[in-house]
């Protein structure tokens, strides 16, 4: 890995020179349009969870051609990082199909899942939003109390010592350290000291991430770390710094890509191809051990609408049918806590993901934009729906029927702001548990979702 990693870093400095605008408009956009047409990829709105294996294979082939033709652009050096087909095939063959993460009673298998697999999905829980300092400890502890949590990417800190945090500034380092130390403390208090972390999201910069790498009080070797992808098919030196540090630290590096529906990739077809191709960027450029995918709608910033579920399902199937890479699917929902709509969205995304061969990362409410608006209860609902679908042996055809029924309950409300209530109103902050009215909504909504064909386990 070390030799391959440094080869990629060298190409980030010495590859073909090109200006960013030319890369996007003259290289990336025409190529993705051409491969979608070449492989005859078509979106069918009646099939949010398609059963067509040939479609998934065509998406994979188009993604490989896109990646090998276009390459990955380094914004800082204006160089393109290219790889050969032989190098890609070697890396796909050599990539591990599973990792044992966590330790002791928190040890879990985080690995490849086939389409319609009966293997339990690995569930990472995270609201993917910022919280007030005074709510951070409570919200972290509340997530650790969730029994289906296999890993955590915890709530984020919005400020530190009453001051807003800024990347590349000492306040970021202080906030990132506070985040890491609090996460370790709450894990121990919850009786889950060795659970797998994907952390810390509070640290945006490479320096911030490096500063919290510490086996004693911070993020340990063997924990998960994330390295973003820039829209679209781009990276920069800071992200490359993170990737190198994670590999040298012994972390499980995950690429964090979100292809944009309605952006440079075009519609559902191109977005699915691009999201699939991002798995190759992670493997080849960052040496990533897993991919955490969050394709999202340009207008809403979410991925629970009809066309977005199709993208989630098809890219998952494309990767699962044509590789043994470890992948994870992140839900970005429109609604907020204490709304039935958020539960419906989480269930639909979870089912579309796991029957298509993915693991689950859940979930970001309120279009991933409202401070304090996220709770573990919507993550619990999605996780229970995912486990139910797997245990009952739900096929893609059955999942498609279920998702269509769920969409009928919420898709007309997607354009409407339906943000519910923040953590401190939905949860008892001192006890770190949902308020009775929130639990009542949870169980009532569960009965409704069960009628769509989901056989909940309890």
Phi, psi of 46 (to 5 degrees): -80, -5
Place of tokens 């490359």: 240
The four Cα atoms 333, 338, 340, 342 give a dihedral, to 10 degrees, of 10
Contact assessment for residue 101 and residue 107, using Cβ atoms and an 8 Å cutoff = yes
At 314 the three-state DSSP class reads: helix
* Rounded Cα–Cα distance for residues 327 and 380 (Å): 20
Contact assessment for residue 163 and residue 189, using Cβ atoms and an 8 Å cutoff = no
pLDDT tens digits for range 170-229: 999 999 999 999 999 999 999 999 999 999 999 999 999 999 999 999 999 999 999 999
* Integer-rounded Cα radius of gyration of the chain: 21
| Mean pLDDT, the chain, integer | 97
Sequence ranges of the domains in the chain? 98-450
* Rounded Cα–Cα distance for residues 74 and 79 (Å): 5
Burial of 156 (0-12, 13-18, 19+ CB in 10 A): buried
pLDDT at 3 (0 to 100): 54
Residues 6+ apart with CB under 8 A from 430: 138
Q: Could you confirm whether domain 98-450 is CATH 3.90.1010.10?
A: no
> How many angstroms separate the Cα of 90 from the Cα of each of 4, 9, 107, 311?
11, 18, 30, 27
Long-range pairs for 367-371: beta carbons < 8 A, 24 or more residues apart: 367/300, 367/301, 367/302, 367/332, 367/333, 367/334, 368/128, 368/129, 368/301, 368/302, 368/332, 369/129, 369/301, 370/129, 370/336, 370/419, 370/422, 371/129, 371/130, 371/131, 371/132, 371/158, 371/422
Size (the chain), residues: 458
Calculate the CA 167 to chain-centre distance: 22
Query: Nearest 5°: CA angle at 172, between 171 and 178?
Result: 90
| DSSP track, 162-209 | TEE--TTSHHHHHHHHHHHHHHHHHHHHTT-TTPEEB--TT--SHHHH
pLDDT at 4 (0 to 100): 83
pLDDT at 339 (0 to 100): 98
Residues 6+ apart with CB under 8 A from 343: 378, 381, 441, 442, 445, 446, 449
CA nearest to 97, candidates 249, 289, 304: 289
* Rounded Cα–Cα distance for residues 27 and 68 (Å): 12
Helices (H) and strands (E) in the chain, counts: 16, 21
pLDDT tens digits for range 420-443: 999 999 999 999 999 999 999 999
pLDDT < 50 positions in the chain = 1-2
């Amino acid at each position: 890995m070390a030799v391959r990693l440094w080869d990629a870093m060298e190409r980030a400095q010495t590859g073909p020179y090109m200006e960013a605008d030319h890369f996007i408009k003259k290289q990336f956009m025409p190529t993705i349009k051409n491969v979608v047409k070449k492989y005859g990829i078509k979106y069918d709105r009646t099939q949010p969870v398609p059963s067509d294996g040939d479609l998934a294979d065509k998406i994979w082939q188009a993604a490989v051609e896109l990646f090998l033709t276009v390459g990955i652009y380094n914004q800082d050096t204006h160089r393109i990082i290219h790889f050969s087909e032989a190098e890609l095939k070697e890396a796909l063959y050599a990539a591990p199909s599973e990792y044992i993460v966590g330790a002791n009673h928190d040890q879990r298998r985080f690995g490849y899942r086939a389409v319609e697999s009966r293997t339990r999905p690995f569930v990472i829980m995270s609201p993917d939003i910022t919280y007030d300092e005074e709510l951070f400890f409570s919200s972290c502890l509340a997530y650790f109390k969730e029994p289906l949590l296999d890993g955590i990417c915890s709530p984020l800190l919005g400020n530190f010592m009453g001051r807003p945090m800024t990347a590349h500034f000492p306040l970021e380092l202080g906030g990132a350290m506070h985040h890491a130390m609090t996460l370790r403390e709450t894990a121990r208090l919850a009786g889950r000291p060795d659970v797998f972390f994907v952390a810390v999201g509070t640290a945006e910069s490479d320096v911030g991430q490096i500063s919290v790498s510490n086996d004693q009080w911070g993020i340990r070797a063997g924990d998960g770390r994330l390295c973003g992808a820039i829209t679209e098919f781009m990276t920069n030196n800071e992200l490359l710094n993170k990737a190198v540090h994670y590999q040298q630290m012994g972390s499980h590096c995950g690429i964090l890509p979100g292809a944009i529906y309605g952006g440079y990739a075009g519609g559902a077809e191109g977005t699915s191809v691009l999201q699939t191709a991002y798995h190759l960027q992670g493997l080849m450029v960052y040496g990533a051990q897993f991919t955490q995918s969050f394709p999202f709608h340009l207008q809403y910033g979410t991925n629970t609408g009809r066309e977005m579920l199709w993208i989630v399902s098809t890219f998952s199937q494309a990767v699962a049918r044509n590789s043994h890479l470890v992948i994870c699917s992140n839900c970005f929902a429109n609604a907020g806590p204490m709304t039935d709509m958020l539960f419906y969205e989480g269930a639909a995304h979870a089912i579309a993901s796991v029957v298509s061969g993915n693991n689950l990362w859940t979930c970001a409410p309120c279009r991933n934009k409202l401070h304090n608006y996220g709770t573990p209860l919507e993550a619990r609902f999605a996780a229970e729906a995912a486990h139910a679908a797997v245990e009952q042996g739900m096929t893609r055809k059955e999942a498609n029927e279920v998702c269509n029924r769920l969409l009928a309950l919420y898709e007309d409300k997607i354009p409407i702001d339906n943000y519910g209530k923040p953590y401190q109103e939905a949860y008892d902050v001192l006890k770190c548990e949902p308020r009775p009215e929130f639990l009542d909504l949870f169980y009532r909504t569960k009965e409704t979702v069960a009628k769509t064909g989901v056989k909940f386990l309890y």
